[in-house]
Amino acid sequence: MLFTGIPLEFFLVTSTLMFFIGIYGFITRENIITILMSIELILNSVNINFLAFNRYLYPGQLEGHFFSLFVIAVAAAEAAVAIAIIINIYRRFKSIEVDNVDEMKN
Amino acid sequence: MEAILGNQVMFILFSAMIVMFSILTVTSRRILRAATFLLFVLLSTAGLYFMLNYQFLAAVQITLYAGGIVVLIIFSILLTSHIDHKFDRVPAQKLIMGVIAAGSGIALSLTTLLTYNFVPANQEPISVDMNTIGKSLLNYGDHGFVLPFEVISVLLLAAIVAAVVIAKRKKI
């Protein structure tokens, strides 16, 4: 019990649920853009974890804060490149379903 | 006491929104709706950051994620998909496998972290204002982050160049 009146475990439970919902989407989705959305969910849940640990266990330091700042920057770069690749795939295959994009398999 | 109760109500509201809209994001059969639900998830996450007193990061989350990445995703949806298009239902086998993977992961993680005894530190929290953030980002001593800051700037430059090179129309 701390300044907010919320135990640390509540944040961890929320981020765990979010992480594995992202994993579920990553497994079941077929469209590349929705897979990208699931990855964003996973990255976000990790950020919540970093910040909650930073605030509750090491409030005198800022390591978790800056880690999630860098995670956000990497996620932005990743989304930009991924969407460029998706648009290129669409031009070539006229589809962004993962089942149709298997030319390199054989 | 009332502040604590208000905090708890806000936290439960935000986390319920996060979980509910996350589920809708991965199960919605219309892609533009999925993107909108993702936007709500990201905004509620920013609310959680505000509750943890990280105002700067909450602002970054809103501008960069909710403002930048979601707009990028919506643009690419508009460029590549039909708005009326509905996804097929997930095949039963895939659905079961996904539920098993996610469910066992949730069970494993929750049992681990709910049985572990976290000891909250009782040291004085430092204030996270712009002064502290800027000085730590450009500090090369202890608790300084100048190296990842520079590496991330190179990464962003590389990502910009890569996005342009990949997406430009090649001459045939």
Euclidean distance between the first and the last CA atom of chain A, given in angstroms as a whole number: 57
Same domain as B123, residue B134: no
Same domain as B153, residue B90: no
The structure's pTM equals 0.90
Contact flag A66-B145 (C-beta cutoff 8 Å): yes
Tell whether B13 is within 8 A of chain A (Cβ): no
Alpha helices in A1-106 (DSSP H): 8-28, 32-57, 63-93
Could you say which of B90, B123, B156 has the minimum Cβ distance to residue A60?
B123
Could you say which of B81, B121, B156 has the minimum Cβ distance to residue A59?
B121
Contact flag A57-B121 (C-beta cutoff 8 Å): yes
Question: Is residue A27 in a domain?
Answer: yes
Separation of CA A80 from chain center? 14
Token look-up 């066992």 returns B104
**Residues facing residue A97 across a β-bridge:** A31
Same domain as B31, residue B6: yes
Domain CATH number, residue A89: 1.10.287.3510
Domain, as residue range, for B151: 129-172
Question: Is residue A105 in a domain?
Answer: no
pLDDT more than 90, % of chain A: 55
DSSP count for chain B of H helices, then E strands: 7, 0
Within 8 A by CB and 6+ apart from A8, the residues are A2, A52, A53, A56, A57, B118, B120
Tell whether B104 is within 8 A of chain A (Cβ): no
Band (A1; pLDDT cuts 50, 70, 90): very low
Band (A105; pLDDT cuts 50, 70, 90): low
Question: Is residue A22 in a domain?
Answer: yes
**Residues facing residue A31 across a β-bridge:** A97
Instruction: Please report the ipTM that was assigned to this predicted complex.
Output: 0.91
- pLDDT for residue A99: 83
Same domain as B93, residue B52: yes
Same domain as B104, residue B167: no
Same domain as B95, residue B152: no
Q: How far apart are CA B122 and CA A65, in angstroms?
A: 18
Same domain as B120, residue B92: yes
Q: How near does any CA of chain B get to the CA of A59, in Å?
A: 5
Q: How near does any CA of chain A get to the CA of B151, in Å?
A: 10
- Which chain A residues are Cβ-neighbours of B8 within 8 angstroms? 5-6
Whole-Å CA distances, A54 to A96, B85, B156: 39, 43, 26
Helix axes B2-27, B31-51, angle to 10 degrees: 160
Q: How far apart are CA A38 and CA B73, in angstroms?
A: 12
Question: Is residue A101 in a domain?
Answer: no
Q: Which class for B42: exposed (0-12), middle (13-18), buried (19 or more C-beta within 10 A)?
A: buried
Residue of B nearest to A80 (CA): B163
Question: Is residue A2 in a domain?
Answer: no
Give pLDDT tens digits for A5-41: 788 889 999 999 999 999 999 999 989 999 999 999 9
Q: Which amino acid is at A3?
A: F
Give pLDDT tens digits for B6-48: 888 999 999 999 999 999 999 998 999 999 999 999 999 999 9
Question: Is residue A62 in a domain?
Answer: yes
Total tally of structural domains belonging to chain B: 2
Question: Is residue A49 in a domain?
Answer: yes
Same domain as B172, residue B115: no
Same domain as B134, residue B120: no
Within 8 A by CB and 6+ apart from B113, the residues are A9, A12, A13, A16
Same domain as B87, residue B168: no
Instruction: Check whether B3 has a pLDDT greater than 70.
Output: yes
Task: Mark residue B53 as left, alpha or beta (left: phi above 0; alpha: psi -120 to 50; beta: remaining).
Answer: left
Same domain as B158, residue B89: no
Q: Which residue out of B9, B19, B45 would a mutagenesis test of the A interface target, given it has the greatest number of A Cβ atoms within 10 Å? A: B45
Domain CATH number, residue B99: 1.20.120.1200
Same domain as B51, residue B8: yes
Tell whether B58 is within 8 A of chain A (Cβ): no
Instruction: Check whether A51 has a pLDDT greater than 90.
Output: yes
- Which chain B residues are Cβ-neighbours of A69 within 8 angstroms? 57, 60
Question: Where a domain ends, among B112, B127, B142?
Answer: B127
Domain, as residue range, for A36: 8-94
